[in-house]
Amino acid sequence: MISSPSVLAFAEASLLARARRRLLGDGLARACAALLAVVALACLLGPFVTGHPYDRLYYDYPGVPPSLALYPRPEAVGPALDRLALRMRVRAEDVAVTGEAVRLTLASDRPIDDRVLTFFSRSDIFGEARLLGRSEDGRRLTVEAPLHALRFLAGTDALGRDLLTRTLTAGRLSLALGLMATAVALGIGVAYGALAGTLGGRVDAAMMRLVDILYSLPFVFFVIMLVVFFGRSVALIFVAVGAVEWLDMARIVRAEAQAIRRRDYVRAAEALGLSTSAILRRHVVPNLLGPVVAFAALMVPRVILLESFLSFLGLGVQEPATSWGVLIADGARSLETAPWMLIVPASFLVATLLALTLLGERLRDALDVRG
Amino acid sequence: MTLLQLRGLTVRYPEAGVTALESLDLDLARGETLALVGESGSGKSQVALAVMGLLPPQARVSGSVRVDGTELTALDRPALDRIRGARIGLVFQEPMTALDPLFTVGHQIALPLRAHRGMGRRQAAARARELLDLVGIRDAASRLSAHPHELSGGERQRVMIAMALAGEPDLLIADEPTTALDVTVQAQILALLADLKRRLGLALLFITHDLRLVRRIADRTAVLRAGRLVETGPTGELFRNPRAPETRDLLAAEPAGRKDPVPEEAPVVLETRGVSVGYPGRRHFLRAEPPRLAVCGIDLTVRAGQTIGVVGESGSGKSSLGRALIRLEPAAHGLVRFEDRDLTALDRRALRPLRRGFQPVFQDPMGSLSPRLTAGEIVAEGLRVHSPHLSAADRDARAAEAFSEVRLDPTWRHRFPHAFSGGQRQRIAIARAMILRPRLVVLDEPTSALDRTVQRDIVALLRDLQAAHGLAYLFISHDLAVVRALADTVLVLRAGREVERGPTDAVLARPREAYTRALVAAADLDGDLSQA
């Protein structure tokens, strides 16, 4: 019935090899996988490259829109110097802006103390100022200060923190949380559900009643309880999300395992004398794979959203640490004044979720033996 | 006068690279019954779908389909809707899934009446009742308000026929209308169709794989193979003088031959006394319903080399008995002695080492092989349990031997089950049992899901394996023709109780009990097909 060599090779390839071949042959799946890889790498390495610490506040640049331009802008240097001079209680005169530095004379009615120069390095615009000359009476100082050249590709937030760095740092937490919570839910849920579905009877009834009881706990109440007992930490969110998400997985897996349990190949395995654990391992779990993979791929985005919900309520990640959910909540509040604060983290989240969902669907199809 | 005329009808699925039908020419006159016969995959159902315009969207249709002179392939959807249901009625194979479980029978029959004949609600209900009377449903008035799950399989099929007749069609297409039914019900439905055809002057296009039905109902027969018409002619003529080799092959595929009896002194493999099989009753909050007995009080003695045929309609408990005897769910009570051990006394763990002595083969060749394992892994699985000292290479070598034994190419053992046909899958299932060298094999309808020609090969294989290894078979089937070819002794079950038993030929030729007589009559065993 099978003739051509390529079809024959396909019929003999192992399940995973076939799934991989199908996925690689699928342009959309490749694109999704590539996008996910790019996002993950950017989140891992990006914060080292952007040149901004994620929690550094640039007091001089709050709410800067995204652009490729270098800051400070030349026309902004003058007013900035005036503000600085005001705080040093001097006058800024003969201001000359060259490419990378500014040269000026500080004038006052009284002799100027050198120590005022430290004001320069406290500003985000200038580096440490050098004293070039001092007049006889000490009322005029000639000073050169380098300009701090900064770029904010994605703009800054209302406190002047670089949004790109923050988004990438947030991605670390969101992705890690999504993966970890899903892995936990997968591990517990598949084992628990497959066991309940395979054993059946009273054991199954008892195991599933426990799931029902946990289900009936309101999630937010549960989290608040955890916070009360254990204090607030990121690890706690992992626990809370994992503890809730495995319930769904266990239910799905149990229903699927029950259906598989009634299949003739499981009966045949029993008749061959396989032990219950061998039947679980060799027959039930591998045949669960398709729906479980699809559900897991959809669970990652759900977990990410759940975390942002918790953080939004103030039960999750706390400043200055951040996650996509926190950033989006911030962005939503300043949508009218600084739309980029919503757009940048939201586009990262949407791209990731879309790629994950599509990839999960493709993966399920690729794992389907009938196709 | 020709009612249905097909000319050069071709159905292709370009995406799958499959040609389902190739330039098919057929004519069907008013008042005539034409049987369309072929094995699975021959394209016979595609004809029904093409006439009704129900082919899936990826199908490409060319050629002409004329009903009473109207070309159907050129019609748009609303024009087609005025013809199908009104001029043509369709009856499907599976009466459970073809009816909508959410609506009452009366509602579903009234739908086409209101759509095609413009009847009001009350008028349609009255007509629906007449239709149920017409298709022989007793107490039609009360059945109108029944939901499909409250009806038996035969009644559902009658309702389907009533729905198809609601538009007063000239042409009725019946696609395997009796395949999902028990033989006695099958006979009733066939009689109903023949009667309706006569009374209403219908043209009937009867699609089936079962040649026995064709002989009883059809005026003319057309044989399809691989999408092509290989032969057509008057039914009697075609059965007496098949011209095409494909037709001869189909006719010769009826199970033939008889089983040689085993000597009296052959060792007893399985012995049971008063075996009952029950499913636990439903558990409520505080009390439990009593267990439901599927089988009651069966005594059996199976000797090496012997085949016991267990026959009965669906629900007679024959599958439950077969499973219970080899200690699968449900549980058996009473004495079950395998060789020298009492099986009912052993717990699961103690039973495991004994399991290599008795193996099952199931009906559904799709469902009995795990899709995640290669055929070779499936076949060798029992060795993991019973010969744990074997290395993976040894197991693989033994699997290759088992493949040869069931006449499959051993190099195919690295393929997954989906790459095999139904008959090949059933061979894999047999190889999985045979690799353990069992003394008893419980065959639960092993040939029922297969085409007749494939069935013939499986029957031959089972015979050869029995002769080579002195196997004892418990052969469970509703198909008396196969049982007659394979079994020494036949046991007739009804509602879990023994009705009759005896040597196969004696029971089938001279049944004592009325129930057995009905079964034998419905199976239409007498005479060979070629003497129709």
Of B364, B372, B381, the CB nearest to A272: B381
Q: Is B389 a domain residue?
A: no
- The alpha carbon of residue B412 is apart from the nearest alpha carbon of chain A, in Å, by 8
Question: Rounded to whole angstroms, how far apart are CA atoms B313 and B492?
Answer: 9
- Most trustworthy range by pLDDT among A152-166, A281-295, B339-353: B339-353
pLDDT at A357 over 60: yes
pLDDT at A333 over 90: no
Question: Rounded to whole angstroms, how far apart are CA atoms B523 and A108?
Answer: 120
Upstream peptide bond of B112 is cis (omega within 30 degrees of 0):
no
pLDDT at A95 over 50: yes
Q: Is the domain of B334 the same as that of B199?
A: no
CATH code of the domain containing B515? 3.40.50.300
Q: Does A270 touch chain B (CB under 8 A)?
A: yes
Residue A58 binned pLDDT confidence (cut-offs 50, 70, 90)? confident
Q: Does B330 touch chain A (CB under 8 A)?
A: no
Q: Is B469 a domain residue?
A: yes
What pLDDT score does B220 carry? 93
CA atoms within 13 A on the CB side of A187: 8
Check CB contact under 8 Å for B371 and A263.
no
User: Tell me: the pLDDT tens digits for B8-66?
Assistant: 999 998 877 888 899 999 999 988 999 999 888 788 888 988 988 888 888 889 999 99
Q: Is the domain of B157 the same as that of B301?
A: no
Q: Which domains does chain A have, with CATH numbers?
A: 5-52+156-367 (1.10.3720.10), 70-151 (3.30.1360)
Is the Cβ–Cβ distance between B91 and B164 less than 8 Å?
yes
User: Tell me: the pLDDT tens digits for B235-290?
Assistant: 989 888 888 888 888 888 877 788 888 888 889 999 999 888 887 777 666 677 77
Q: Is the domain of B41 the same as that of B7?
A: yes
Q: Does B319 touch chain A (CB under 8 A)?
A: no
pLDDT at B157 over 70: yes
**Domain interval for residue B230:** 2-252
pLDDT at A13 over 70: no
pLDDT at A73 over 70: yes
Average pLDDT of chain A to the nearest whole number:
80
pLDDT at A5 over 80: no
Residue B404 binned pLDDT confidence (cut-offs 50, 70, 90)? very high
User: Tell me: the pLDDT tens digits for A243-261?
Assistant: 788 898 899 899 988 888 8
Is the Cβ–Cβ distance between A313 and A305 less than 8 Å?
no
Residues in B touching A370 (Cβ below 8 Å): 371, 418
Q: Is B471 a domain residue?
A: yes
Check CB contact under 8 Å for B382 and A272.
yes
Q: Is B430 a domain residue?
A: no
> What type of residue sits at position B263?
P
Residues in A touching B379 (Cβ below 8 Å): none
Residue A365 binned pLDDT confidence (cut-offs 50, 70, 90)? confident
Q: Is the domain of B239 the same as that of B339?
A: no
Q: Is the domain of B152 the same as that of B101?
A: yes
User: Tell me: the pLDDT tens digits for B62-76?
Assistant: 999 998 888 888 888
pLDDT at B177 over 80: yes
What pLDDT score does B440 carry? 94
Q: Is B408 a domain residue?
A: no
First to last CA, chain B: 27
Overall average pLDDT of the A47-63 stretch: 78
pLDDT at B530 over 60: no
What pLDDT score does A313 carry? 75
Overall average pLDDT of the B501-513 stretch: 91
Q: Is B427 a domain residue?
A: no
What pLDDT score does B277 carry? 87
User: Tell me: the pLDDT tens digits for B436-494?
Assistant: 999 999 999 888 888 888 888 899 999 999 999 999 999 999 888 899 999 999 999 99
- The alpha carbon of residue B439 is apart from the nearest alpha carbon of chain A, in Å, by 14
Longest dimension (CA), chain A: 107
Q: Is the domain of B216 the same as that of B335?
A: no
Rg (CA), chain A: 30
User: Number of structural domains, chain B?
Assistant: 2
* Nearest CA-CA partner of B503 in B307, B248, B341, B342: B307
Is the Cβ–Cβ distance between A290 and A296 less than 8 Å?
no
Residue A84 binned pLDDT confidence (cut-offs 50, 70, 90)? confident
Q: Is the domain of B182 the same as that of B304?
A: no
What pLDDT score does B527 carry? 52
What pLDDT score does B491 carry? 94
Overall average pLDDT of the A128-144 stretch: 78
Q: Is the domain of B8 the same as that of B148?
A: yes
What pLDDT score does A6 carry? 46
Closest-CA residue of B relative to A267 is B328
What pLDDT score does A16 carry? 67
Closest-CA residue of A relative to B354 is A273
Strands lying side by side in the sheet with B358-361: B358-361, B440-444, B472-477, B307-311, B489-494, B497-503
Element of type H or E holding B11: strand B2-13
Q: Is the domain of B243 the same as that of B341?
A: no
Rounded to two decimals, the pTM is: 0.78
Q: Is the domain of B236 the same as that of B274?
A: no
* Nearest CA-CA partner of B455 in B363, B371, B318, B341: B363
